[in-house]
Amino acid sequence: MIRKSNFKYPVINSVTPISKSNQSLMTVKNLTETSADLYIYGVIVDNTDFKWDESDVMPEDVKDALEQVEGLKELNIYINSPGGSVFAGQAIYNMLNRNKAKKNVYIDGVAASMASVIAMVGDTIYMPKNAYLMIHKPLTIAIGNATDFRKMADDLDVIEDGLVNVYEENLKEGVDIETIKGLMEKETWLTGEEAIELFDVEVVEPKNIAAYGGDLLARYEKTPQKLVATAIQNDHQDNKQPSNEDELIKFQNELDLLEL
């Protein structure tokens, strides 16, 4: 998905933006002398002074995290994301790709849209049977005249070529890139067992990790219904005034998730 710099998607929830200066950037977990764990567990957003949710991931977050792990031999990258900004996603992919460490990518719940591109940075990609990988053509919303829209269509084609190149580098032997382009044309959601037929991924046993349930998933055309239901449920929960007990439970759940 791409966004014009002066455009913001309407926010379903009435949420106050979180100042980046008031919240920590991407956390590096389980740091040792040789390895570290990084988590991409939210929407991929452009570098700004604010985030709509504390789980949003900016290129700056990844840059700061990678500075902490420079020189390590191995990075474990855990992804549970609906995607987001194509330009931010490309920047994150390129930064991770430049890092010399061996990269193990784990698709914990869902890697959709630009998150599926970021997942391709892995030297080894692990995907549970019950996780999802979604690929599609880049999208945008724009306002302009016929000339503007023709240029936008050309720009989208160029952007798509960049995404296709990343997918092509990770194809299963014998799979033609035209197959992937056809799947991108109609927005395709792949389970782990389906993805292994197309990409160099290793399928592992199902994990009891809920796929990302933010409202962005509900905006895609063919999101599996159980993911849409999760997004709607989370939306209702977000609109409720949380009690102190709710906040404590949420905080504990976040701590438990980071320990996975």
Residue 241 has pLDDT above 80, yes or no: no
Specify whether the CB–CB gap between 187 and 222 falls below 8 A: yes
Burial class (CB in 10 A: 0-12, 13-18, 19+), 223: buried
Mean pLDDT in residue range 25-54: 85
The per-residue pLDDT for 22 is 42
Burial 39-64 (b: 16+ CB within 10 A, else e): bbbbbbbbeeeebbbebbbbbbbbee
CATH assignment of 18-258?
A: 3.90.226.10
The count of C-alpha atoms lying within 13 angstroms of the C-alpha of 54, restricted to the half-sphere facing its C-beta, is 8
The per-residue pLDDT for 27 is 74
Per-residue pLDDT of 155-176, as tens digits, reads 999 999 999 999 999 999 999 9
Most confident segment among 46-55, 96-105, 218-227: 96-105
Model confidence band, residue 206 (pLDDT cutoffs 50, 70, 90): confident
Both tokens of residue 42? 């939210």
- Coil, helix or strand for 147? helix
Percentage helix, strand, coil for the chain under 3-state DSSP, each rounded to 5:
40, 20, 40
The per-residue pLDDT for 219 is 76
Lowest mean per-residue pLDDT among 36-40, 59-63, 228-232: 228-232
- Residue of 113, 116, 236, 243 marked active site: 113
Cα–Cα distance measured from residue 80 to residue 230, given in angstroms and rounded to the nearest whole number: 14
Query: What residues pair up with 75 in beta bridges, in sequence order?
Result: 36, 103
Please, what is the average pLDDT of the chain?
Answer: 81
Mean pLDDT in residue range 13-37: 66
Mean pLDDT in residue range 193-203: 96
Specify whether the CB–CB gap between 188 and 111 falls below 8 A: no
Model confidence band, residue 223 (pLDDT cutoffs 50, 70, 90): confident
Q: Please confirm, yes or no, whether 236 is among the known catalytic residues.
A: no
Note the pTM of the prediction, 2 decimals. 0.77
The per-residue pLDDT for 243 is 47
Strand ranges for the chain from DSSP E: 18-19, 28-29, 35-40, 50-51, 74-81, 102-112, 124-128, 132-135, 188-191, 202-204
- Residue of 81, 85, 116, 136 marked active site: 136
- Coil, helix or strand for 156? helix
Domain ranges of the chain: 18-258
Q: Do the bridges between strand 124-128 and strand 50-51 make them parallel or antiparallel, or are there none, so unpaired?
A: unpaired
Q: Please confirm, yes or no, whether 113 is among the known catalytic residues.
A: yes
The per-residue pLDDT for 10 is 34
Both tokens of residue 63? 């840059």
Per-residue pLDDT of 88-111, as tens digits, reads 999 999 999 999 999 999 999 899
